[in-house]
Amino acid sequence: MKYKGEVALITGSSKGIGAQIARQIAEKGIKVIINYSSSEENAIKLSQEIKRNGGECEIKQFDVSNFKETKEAVDSIIEKYKRIDYLINNAGITKDNLILKMSEEEFDKVISVNLKGAFNCTKHISRWMIKNKFGVIINISSVIGLMGNAGQSNYSASKSGLLGFTKSLAKELGSRNIRVNAIAPGFIETDMTNVLNIIQKKSLISSLAIKRLGKPEDIANLVDFLISEEASYITGETINISGGLYI
State the Rg of the chain over Cα: 17
How far apart CA 230 and CA 1 sit, in angstroms, is: 7
Asked if residues 181 and 239 have their Cβ atoms less than 8 Å apart, the reply is yes
Determine the Cα–Cα distance for residues 152 and 111; give it in Å rounded to an integer. Answer: 12
| Residue 36 bears catalytic tag | no
Q: Which of 36, 155, 233, 246 is catalytic?
A: 155
Alpha-carbon distance of 84 to 163, in angstroms, equals: 22
Just list the catalytic residues: 155
